[in-house]
Structure 1
Amino acid sequence: MKAIKREEAVRLCLEGERISPAERKRLAAERLRELVSYAREHSAYYKKAYREVGEDFRLSDLPPVTKKELMADYGAWVTDSGVTEEGVRAYISSDAALETLYLGRYTALTTSGTTGNPMPMVRDAYHNMIHGALLQTRLLREVDPELMNPVRHKIASIIILDPAVSSYSGFLKSQRANPGYEQNMLAIYLTEDIDVIVEKLNRFQPDLVTGYPSILAVLGKAGQEGRLHIHPQAIACSAEMLTEKVYHTLRAAFGCPVLNNYCSTEGGEAAMSCSEGKFHVNEDWVIIESVDKDGRPVPEGSWSEGVYMTDLTNYVQPVIRYYMADRVRIVKEACPCGSSLPIMEICGREAETVEIGGKVLFSSSFEQALEHVPGVLAVQMAQKGERRFYIRLVPSSEEEREKAAEEVKKRILGLFEGSGAGPVEVTVVPERPKSNRRGGKVKFLVKEPEERKG
């Protein structure tokens, strides 16, 4: 297993941005060969998958993989035989996850979503060191690099307070790692009433605010209206798509850098925002291939139907040409910020809000509540009117449909009632989730016109 010191990781990340695009491509190709060689030797899955791939291969020679394929052969996928799916899941759900490493050497987390089957991932020290250095040298370049250090700064995170969620588990681990400075960290449940969140932030006066763009947009509006009186050094977004409109709202409201990170549990920190609000691909450490619906490369500057993601840093659970249904467009134009890293535009999941009688609820709250419903593979929530909702779901089997539908409906009604936004009408309809006409990706929350009667 590879090892690296923090100073070396920082140096490599700084140098990687200074060199030419051609040099970065060669560097990434070298790292890919090293990763593939290791995967072939230590992963039974990749040994079999690459049995017909020669030593002098191109990236396109490597067969792509999917979540379903990897999960079906989890034990063969990992390069450490001590890592098991059951072991990782048990570790993540235990109190030990906040204080110790999995098997004494790995961090562990799961993917999120509404599939009901999050994928457990482990990351080795090499991955964590490189991706930490990417955050320090590229995402935080505009701000004090110690801004995420609770010993020196006050940090407020508006997130889902569930230890199984990586953002909150990371928050708790940071608290445990900095005893005596817990008062410098504030976690706010994003399902709380906006007025309550505003009050808490006004009292806390954070230097850094982190959260999902959907809730940060509402806070930006509160700042513009003069209700939120904070002066953060930076706003950091994650997990959802940050639109240009929300980006400029936050900049105008708080007058500070707005940081955004295109990352995933599987691929790590793939792209980061610059001072111009544009995403730059960390192509020296993460390879992103834009592909059409058949997995073929799309022309430069064209929108993809998905991407193949390759993380060049994870040697314990290699992610090589892993398919993700994110619609992106990569362009090679010059950026006013001065970085020569490729610019990537994203047309992924754009979070929505539900407004009922003056109450604002966030799509991420519903997604989290429905994440582990037994018997449910996918869910879509359609708002047909202010208080009328259709639920479309994909059950794991027709025999489970009725029971799963009742549980989904129960959880949704519970969220509405708990927030004081009820009463609402929730109907589970016998149809599949509908795809977005732009890109074909299914959005969790959609707003549709009321059906005309008669």
Structure 2
Amino acid sequence: MRASTRNRSWDPIQSSAAWWSWVARMSETWWTRSGGATAIASARAEHLAALVKFVRAHSAHYRERWRDVPAGAPLEAFPVVTKSELMADFDAGTSGEPGIFVQDAAALSTYDAMIAVQLGAARLGGRYASGVFGQGGKAALVAARDDHYASIVSWERLTRASPWLSTKSFSVLDPLPQLVKGLNAYQPAFVASYPTMLMLLAEERAMGRLDIEPALLWSGGECMTSGTRADVENAFECPVVNEYGASEALSIAYGCSGGSLHINADCIVLKPVDRDHRPTPPGKTSHTVLLTNLANRVQPLVRYDLGDSVTAKPKPCACGSPLPAIQVEGRRDDIVSMRAADGGTVRLLPLALATVVEEAAGLHRFQILQTAADRLALRLDPKEACDRDAAWSAASQALRTYLARQSLENVAVTLERDLPARADPRTGKLRQVCVVCADARAVH
């Protein structure tokens, strides 16, 4: 079983300092948001002015980029920065590669405080207390388990700071029956994972194979539709906390009961823009968004092209939140249903398939296509600089090893050399895992 409970050393002095920092930021966040849109805008302006002053004084990179921007200029006057530009100093700045992002302690405390305030605003504090005191405080994370993933870093921080929680992480690469068995044995009160994995677990519960009764579910890392959220909540009979974040800013927005995502606008500036970085009006889907993270100073991000496509809601949200509401048009990869040699069906998580290829071959722009009920094809991006033969050899071997662990030794893996990776025409984002054949969609 590829699940682990880390041996945590709880430092009471360090944890006490972090706790008081969290309390201070939670109090500030609560008071700001209770003051409504005017108080939120005032706090945002104050934080932005302080960040710009700090960055001008301490960042040679931004100081050079901002040399023609006068003091007191509005945020829109500052130049846009990109991942490749910022990653040049890390020698990892080619298009399509993941970035290296660092968060300071103050930023982490701010993210934690915002989450706590969100739980209170959604009246989920009772659910959390019930899970801690009534169900033993067991929490399970089902995710990609390598430490460089933002979800794992956040999870490890939570375990160190919360000695009252019993925590265990499970790998998305494990076969689903093995994962279900582990969760049944652990009986978590809280489960955090990706929307696609929560959907698979909801189906397992509906079929009677997964027998857990969590008090609260946490979703992140992928786009969660309102339909998926409703299905998961109905299956588990408990709320889902839907969080929108990124490695660049761990908590950008959170989901409300009405299905919208609300930007943490007191600490985050998120501007929907078109291809030329001009503002897109509410109700129109953007090409990308410009992120300014007001909470983090160790690696400042000011007007950073995040790459996500969002739509700002033109009307106030029915939930009553004063925070601006958006809809994220995230990449929607397909859950893959493969036919095993014995005629049974094995469901594969898209993120698990993508993780296998990324880690084995070092690729970050590719597509995995299900072309038949027992066939996968790998499509490489010709623009990505790599030794294609070596990349194909490593990726195909890793995929076959992963498929064998899922009892899918019969599934063939092929390479499509001549077809470029195509972006989703609706979102403009590259879909990494796609079902493209009718007989594959008919497998259940």
TM-score by length of 1: 0.83
Q: Give 1:336 deviation, angstroms.
A: 3.1
* Pairwise CA distance, 1:136: 0.6
Contact 2:81 2:304 in 1 (8 A): yes
> 2:289, 2:130 → 1: CA distance?
32
**Matched residue, 2:70:** 54
Shift of 1:174: 4.5
Measured in 2, the distance between the counterparts of 1:57 and 1:197 equals 53
Matched, 1:133 2:120: no
| Number of corresponding residues | 411
Q: Which moved more, 1:307-316 or 1:18-27?
A: 18-27
Equivalent residues of 1:377, 1:393 under 8 A apart: no
> Secondary structure at the residue paired with 1:410?
helix
Q: What one-letter code is carried by the residue in structure 2 that aligns with 1:319?
A: L
Indicate conservation of the 8 Å contact 1:138/1:272, yes or no: yes
Q: How far, CA to CA, are the matches of 2:377 and 2:215 in structure 1?
A: 41
After superposition, the Cα gap between the structure-2 partners of 1:376 and 1:189, relative to the gap in structure 1 and judged at 3 Å, is closer
Q: 1:397 to 1:61 in 2, by over 3 A?
A: closer
The separation in 1 between residues aligned to 2:248 and 2:389, in whole angstroms, is 33
Q: In the alignment, which residue of structure 2 is the partner of 1:296?
A: 278
Q: Deviations over 1:183-240 (max 9, x none)?
A: x322222222323322322232211111111111011122223332222111101101
What corresponds to 1:317 in structure 2?
299
286-295 or 346-355, which moves further after superposition?
346-355
Alignment partner, residue 218 of structure 1: 200
Report how far residue 124 of structure 1 moved. Answer: 1.2
Is 1:118 equivalent to 2:105 in the alignment? no
Q: Contact 1:213–1:351 at 8 Å: present in 2 too?
A: no
Distance in 1, Cα, partners of 2:157 & 2:55 = 30
Extract unaligned runs of 5+ from structure 1: 75-84, 87-110
2:143 to 153, 159, 163: 159
Is the Cα–Cα contact under 8 Å of residues 281 and 344 in structure 1 kept in the other structure?
A: yes
One-letter code of the match for 1:432?
Answer: P
Q: Secondary structure at the match of 2:381?
A: strand
Matched-pair contact (CA < 8 Å) for 1:157–1:210: yes
Q: Check whether the contact 1:45–1:73 (CA below 8 A) recurs between aligned residues.
A: no
Matching residue of 1:189: 171
Q: CA RMSD in A?
A: 2.8
User: Tell me, what secondary structure is at the counterpart of 2:414?
Assistant: strand
After TM superposition, list the pairs within 5 Å mapping 1:11-22 onto structure 2. 11-22=27-38
Q: CA deviation at 1:370?
A: 2.2
Matched, 1:447 2:429: no
Deviation by residue 1:251-272 (Cα, 9 ceiling, x = unmatched) = 1112211101000110221100
**Matching residue of 1:107:** none
Tell me the amino acid that sits aligned with residue 428 of structure 2.
Answer: G
Bigger Cα displacement from structure 2, 384-393 vs 45-54 = 384-393
Question: Paired residue for 1:382, among 349, 369, 380?
Answer: 369
1:90 counterpart residue number = none
User: Matched residues in 1 for 2:362 and 2:231: separation?
Assistant: 40
Q: Which runs of 4+ in 1 moved over 6 A?
A: 147-151, 396-399
Provide the rounded CA distance (Å) in 2 between the counterparts of 1:164 and 1:360: 26
How big is the shift at 1:311? 0.5
Alpha-carbon distance in 2 for matches of 1:165, 1:306: 22
- Listed one character per residue, the Cα deviations across residues 376-425 of structure 1 (whole Å, up to 9, x for unaligned) are 35111111121222211136766712221222222222211221123222
Cα separation, 2, equivalents of 1:126 and 1:169: 15
User: Of 124, 127, 132, which residue of structure 2 is paired with 1:143?
Assistant: 124
Paired residues of 1:275 and 1:337 also in contact (CA < 8 A): yes
The more displaced of 324-333 and 211-220 is 324-333
Residue 58 of structure 2 aligns with which residue? 42
CA separation in 1, counterparts of 2:367 and 2:287?
A: 20
